[in-house]
Amino acid sequence: MRTDPYPYEVRELVAQTLERLGADVCDLADVDETIVIDGGKYAARSYRVDGYLAMWLLPVGIVQFYDADGNMLHTLNLLVEQEPQKMRMAA
């Protein structure tokens, strides 16, 4: 994945992670995606499926995962995930 991942890359990662957390994700079309605007700026994307929620906070590059009760289950740092690729590209 790129340092500034494309939305479709994050959507696939979110669907895979939600499925591992217990959501019933048969297809990417099962994931309801919403763009979040804050103060006129593109701030986040939310993903909902089977009672679960994931929120990609663009300015900080993290995706947080929640269950139906609002309990945070997992966090992915998309920027940290990029470090091994950056090192390989520099070599």
pLDDT digits over 64-90, tens only? Answer: 999 999 999 999 998 875 444 444 444
CA–CA separation, 75 vs 56, rounded Å?
10
- Return the bridge partners of 36, or none: 44
Beta strand 62-66 pairing with 52-57: antiparallel
What are the residue boundaries of the structural domains of the chain, listed by start? 7-90
pLDDT digits over 28-63, tens only? Answer: 788 899 999 999 999 999 999 989 999 999 989 999
Considering the entire predicted model, what is its pTM?
Answer: 0.79
